[in-house]
Amino acid sequence: MSTANQTTAQMAERVLDQVMSAGATGDLIVDEGETLSLKARDGELEEYKVSSSRIFGLRVIKDGHIGTAYSEAVDADALGSMVGQALNNASFGKVESHENILPNSDHLQTDDELLCPPEQVSIEQKIELALEIESKLTAKDKVKNVPYNGVQDITSQRQIFSSAGLNALTRSRMCAAYAYALAEDGEKNAMQGTSQVTRLFSGLNAASVIDKTYEKCIGLLDGKPVPSKHYDVIFDPDCQVSAFGVFAMMFSGKAAKDGINPMRDKIGSTITDSRLSIYDHPLNADGFGYHLFDAEGTATKKSELVVEGCLQTLIHNSATASYFDSETSGHASRGPRSTLGVKLHQVEIAKGSEDLSTLHSGEYLELTDLTGLHSGANAISGNFSFGASGYLCKDGERIQAVRGITVAGNFYEMLNKISMIGNQQHWNEGRSALMPSIRFSDVAISG
């Protein structure tokens, strides 16, 4: 039977009928997307990319065995083959008594007005923005070129269907602009960049991307190492979110089940400075980590992870929750190509009490760029060693640009060496997490 004129829901129904006919249960994720991507070079459009994609990802459970398979081809043969592969794959797995298709027959849909607002924007306006960012940055003093830049408009949609009757739909839009400029001054050079994301194209601000990128480039052009010793360190919002992201496994119920989460036995214990409270807040629609439901269709809610230094809970899907005799926290993650896992949606750290002048008192290093984030970190032990750039500061003044240094230590120990927490929260550039600035003390810097 041809699938050419069938809707996604009809194809999903057909797939799940085949799963149930084989005596199994299952759920199906269908991800679809449309992307426009523009890049500029020397005042001209260098790349213009359009795409449309669709992928089906199936999970089946038969006699307690789990199997997954996916297909980008959506004709009846390909989808039938996907079902066969998933069932075959299941036959090799051990019995996973804790993993089941949830008895959830909800029909859920996110608010298009909120996440995918309509907007009339011409392609010319998008091209103009890409050209403006590249040409105005290139024209600035000491900027040699802007080798990496672009404007994107991405609409993505996810549908989840299950043999229990779940039918969940979310659709969202993200417009982005980014630029990485190379600045040169004699023998010295620096390459830095910024990005911006919004729901509406009209929300993108070329001047902001240009000015921030230029400021970062020029600021670090004279950068040099500082003497090796222990410093107080404040990460900028992006670096701080990245650092927390690298060690996010500390909250993973799946990693705990697998025996590799060092916090597995520390629920109820103090694991950080008592002034630190960490939440996951998927329902804050100002961020791009907004999720109304997780990959199993479970409704999400704000979760307390750490309150005043005490670990409250790990994050769970229904399988890890069952293993620990607990409830799912609405943190199931699964892509069409992957198995069931857990994932934080949108981390939020509660603001502290220190105003900017107190936070910035005395000498400290402000780190604005970290490199080697994943290769230089061990989330199991907490040890890390990153390349870094930024500024040596005194009483809020940047007194020296700093490059060619490393910052090293143990992240889990660092959470107990917090000197101050700022009283204002900031989004990172990707608007995926909301945190105040944290001043860490006694951090090893090599220069």
Binding to other proteins (CB under 8 A) within 280-299 occurs at: none
Q: Which range binds other proteins by CB under 8 A, 13-21, 161-169, 244-252, 337-345?
A: 337-345
Residues 356/359/362/365 CA torsion (nearest 10 deg): -100
Q: Which is nearer to other proteins, 359 or 445 (CB)?
A: 445
CB of 312 to other proteins, least distance (A): 21
Q: Which is nearer to other proteins, 6 or 410 (CB)?
A: 410
Q: Which is nearer to other proteins, 93 or 430 (CB)?
A: 93
In whole angstroms, what separates CA 214 from the centre of its chain? Answer: 25
- 296 contacts: CB under 8 Å, gap ≥ 6: 27, 102, 104, 160, 317, 318, 328, 332, 334, 340
CA nearest to 139, candidates 173, 96, 179: 179
CA nearest to 34, candidates 197, 157, 159: 157
DSSP strands (E only) in 248-373: 278-280, 303-307, 310-311, 332-333, 341-342, 347-349, 363-371
Task: Measure the CA–CA gap between 367 and 386, rounded to whole angstroms.
Answer: 11
365 in Cβ contact with 390 (< 8 Å):
yes
Residue 93 in contact with other proteins, rule: CB under 8 A? yes
Task: Measure the CA–CA gap between 435 and 284, rounded to whole angstroms.
Answer: 13
Residue 189 in contact with other proteins, rule: CB under 8 A? yes
Q: Which is nearer to other proteins, 405 or 434 (CB)?
A: 405
Sites for other proteins among residues 373-432 (CB under 8 A): 373-376, 378, 380-381, 383-387, 403-410
Q: Which is nearer to other proteins, 28 or 292 (CB)?
A: 28
CB of 400 to other proteins, least distance (A): 17
- 122 contacts: CB under 8 Å, gap ≥ 6: none
Sites for other proteins among residues 143-162 (CB under 8 A): 144-145, 147-148
CB of 144 to other proteins, least distance (A): 7
CB of 316 to other proteins, least distance (A): 18
Q: Which range binds other proteins by CB under 8 A, 169-177, 197-205, 238-246, 254-262?
A: 254-262
Find the binder of other proteins among 73, 121, 139, 356 (CB under 8 A): 73
